[in-house]
Chains A and B, each alone.
Chain A
């Protein structure tokens, strides 16, 4: 394990984050957007774990934080899916561009 340099983990994380961001900004389906968000969260999780490992493995801060993020992400996914369902019911579509009633 020690032979893998830290930057490889960071490359992985940044690629994951980029893909997630791309999904959030570009995809029109609300479910895909949410999936993009999940990717971004997990990219962050990888970052946390990487730095925890390479800096101070005995400190639990980074690891515990990841557990928190996973928990909150689950709750967030539940709420977000509920909103998506509610939007789908009123618009008959899950396209985020169609939900633009707050246009100024």
Chain B
């Protein structure tokens, strides 16, 4: 299976080409082609997992490089790198993509550009898989840009909606800012290490640290790591480049589930984990990563409390959970970060697909027009509840294990001020439980608020609830991979040395250790129930009492407005200067000037063309005389 692993990114790319060129007129055929190739990819990934598991831990890394370009001293390879980390990502990406594609059959069935939609999904999956299996920084950059392109295409899938057209542009442009840093990081790596290969760079860094060749005080490695991290900040939507993700919700909901919750936005986390040696070489880069993640986790969670759009709440929740993962990476808990990525992919995809099911039923996204949907959409509601429990960190659901591992890693980390980070993370866990159950109670319980929508609501077709049930099963079980005492996951995906998070040896011991995170989760759910399920407190009253804070959160800390103001003030100002320069210096000065000079020179040269043949003869004679003089003296 591993020998055939190159098929995994190639097959969806072929499916994209075939759909785009040949079968785009046949809706069902195109969709089946896309789903079929994804199924094959998933099965190959499973085969690779089994084969990798059968090997001894030391031999689990297999690299199959092909030479692409040779520009001495650099060699650019494309290839497939199979190790536990990429196997983990392969399974997540192919599984979620498969389920989302099946789900889309029901969700997108009435759309005119059904086949195009599937071709884009195939292209996206192919790009994401190129990114996942890359063996070097150049290939990961290619995949990185390709997923950005697919994200752009799919956010703007309904391009005739002005909001969607604007959102896709915004996503692309904001990502450009981060990607520039990433590209600069890649170039710096090429210059400094003379290679782009992950394994070689890792080797050089390890040796350099061991021999003391790296001058710690110059923070050169930290600089490279932070440049790479800029890419992760853009792609994984961390503060301050988080602004594109909530707007990306204008795309079709299954796309949000696949790209903007489970896979593409996790690419940043994956990239940092993939290059962890560079990051852990210097405490400075680790601190930057940890604080960026921790701040985003809290920042996004606080915004999520006040939002009204079902998908936007989930988008801010995604931001917050990605912040958790980044923070875990920053404190050195790579395994816990990747584990949270895996569990989060399951329950966040489930949440988005559930939200899609609700939107499909009631044709709207405002949670204040829903309510009481539990009676109408039992399966959707039940699976949504499972995902909510998972994301809130209630045992034995998946989120509990991964989130607790992260909190544990933060608590025990050595970076400066980790206590602040720990309490922020804990408070964020409380907020997460609160806003997720706020969403649940408002949408599924209580009295219907909009009777027309309520009458219309119905359970979705089996192609939609099937993936929901499957993902719900995963959202319960995936966490058990790291069941205390067994720790299958930590023994499989690890960085350097296996590090068993928490160190609890039984489930009971883990529960006692994790009492604080459990307590805040239950507190969040209870408070949410008291506000929105059995209203003991009034949310409106709280909002009016703390009106400035409420407005601040409701308007997302005015970050968008700040960026808008900054663009108007500085970018447009700079553009005016540039226009003046272009009009006056470039156009009038240089372009017209060069023409003017040529014309005048021509006028001067015309004087030599007298047309009198004897003048020419005189010049010839004079020239011969001059040459004679020059030669003889």
Contacts and interface: CB of A to CB of B under 8 A. Distances in A.
A88 to B, nearest CB: 15
Contacts of B610: 100, 103-104
Contacts of B496: none
Contact of A24 (B605, B606, B608, B617): B617
A33 to B, nearest CB: 8
B609 A103 contact: yes
B400 to A, nearest CB: 91
Contacts of A26: 614
Interface string B593-625: 000000000000111111111100110010000
B617 A104 contact: no
A97 interface: yes
A91 B309 CA distance: 93
Nearest to A101: B611
Contacts of B611: 99-104
A103 B605 CA distance: 11
A24 B614 contact: yes
A25 B621 contact: yes
Contacts, number: 33
Nearest to A99: B613
B607 A104 contact: yes
B618 A25 contact: yes
A104 B614 contact: no
A84 to B, nearest CB: 12
Nearest to A97: B612
A97 to B, nearest CB: 6
Nearest to A30: B613
Nearest to B610: A103
Contacts of A102: 609, 611
A26 B617 CA distance: 10
A100 B614 contact: no
A90 to B, nearest CB: 15
A104 B606 contact: yes
A104 B618 contact: no
Nearest to A21: B621
Contacts of B609: 102-104
Contacts of B605: 104
Contacts of A33: 613-614
Interface in A50-104: 96-97, 99-104
Nearest to A103: B611
With most chain B CB atoms within 10 A of its CB, the pick from A25, A96, A102, A104 is A104
- Which 7 residue pairs spanning A and B have beta carbons closest together? A104-B609, A103-B611, A100-B611, A104-B606, A102-B611, A96-B613, A25-B614
Interface of B: 605-614, 617-618, 621
8 contacts: A21-B621, A33-B613, A97-B614, A99-B611, A99-B613, A104-B607, A104-B608, A104-B611
